[in-house]
Amino acid sequence: MPLDTFLALVLFAFTTSITPGPNNMMLFASGANFGFRRTIPHMFGIGAGFFSLLLGVGLGLGALLHTVPALYTALKFGGGIYLVWIAWKIATSRSLSEGMESVKPMSFVAAAAFQWVNPKAWVMAVTAMATYTNPELYVASVLIVGLAFAAVNVPSVSTWAGFGSALREWLSDPVRLKWFNVTMAALLVVSLWPMLK
């Protein structure tokens, strides 16, 4: 891959990873509600799940979705319904969690699996594979795209958990926390709009 193409790929990976979307809204809320340390498995789950999604799209799922558009539509709307459910859980959360057993941050496995129904993740993966792979060195370029995202994704998304964690003290007021969680849930739902068109 030429250097200028690789740099464009890294910029695309950074921009799509750090801009608001379902993952970042959930990480922001998780950082605020559970703290940065307890959100780490969620962050790494996003990275691992998105890497596996990129490889899956690059090695055949992208072509399948192009051939069967109804499958892509079902994935988008199924993912959207799941995100609305997550938004509801965020909106109805009313206390900062310090080790409460009944309230837990998203696990590594759940965050990784979520990437497979996250509409923004699918759009990112399909766009990245369509734009930055080289047909002559296809498998190698799929791996390069995946590794570029792996290097950029976790540091990018961790900033959102960090911002949320930094607000924990301010959010110790139950009224502020209530409105913060309702706002994060609303932003999570709004983040779906461009992907569900």
Please give the average per-residue pLDDT across 160-168, as a whole number: 88
- Whether the CB-CB separation of 56 and 118 falls below 8 Å is answered with no
pLDDT score, position 41: 96
pLDDT score, position 98: 45
**Which H/E stretch holds residue 10?**
helix 3-18
Cα–Cα distance, 122 to 58 (Å, whole number)? 11
Please give the average per-residue pLDDT across 122-139, as a whole number: 84
Cα–Cα distance, 72 to 26 (Å, whole number)? 23
Say yes or no to pLDDT of 158 above 50.
yes
pLDDT score, position 36: 93
pLDDT in tens, 37-52: 999 999 999 999 999 9
Q: Which amino acid is it at 152? A: V
* 22-31 b/e (C-beta count within 10 Å ≥ 16 → b): bbbbbbbbbb
Q: Grade residue 144 by pLDDT with cuts at 50, 70 and 90.
A: very high
72, two tokens: 């892509």
Say yes or no to pLDDT of 79 above 70.
no
Contact residues for 164 (Cβ-Cβ < 8 A; gap 6+): 27, 28, 29, 30, 31, 32, 33, 36, 39
- Whether the CB-CB separation of 50 and 115 falls below 8 Å is answered with yes
Cα–Cα distance, 127 to 76 (Å, whole number)? 15
Rounded to two decimals, the pTM is 0.75
Say yes or no to pLDDT of 160 above 60.
yes
pLDDT score, position 12: 85
Please give the average per-residue pLDDT across 75-104, as a whole number: 65
Say yes or no to pLDDT of 99 above 90.
no
Nearest one of 48, 169, 167, 168 to 40, comparing CA atoms: 48
Greatest Cα pair distance, the chain, in angstroms, is 58
Say yes or no to pLDDT of 151 above 70.
yes
pLDDT score, position 100: 43
Say yes or no to pLDDT of 123 above 70.
yes
pLDDT score, position 53: 94
Collapsing DSSP to helix, strand or coil, 2 comes out as: coil
Distances (CA, A) of 89 to 16, 84, 111, 178, 184: 25, 9, 15, 12, 11
What interhelical angle do 36-56 and 22-34 show, nearest 10? 160
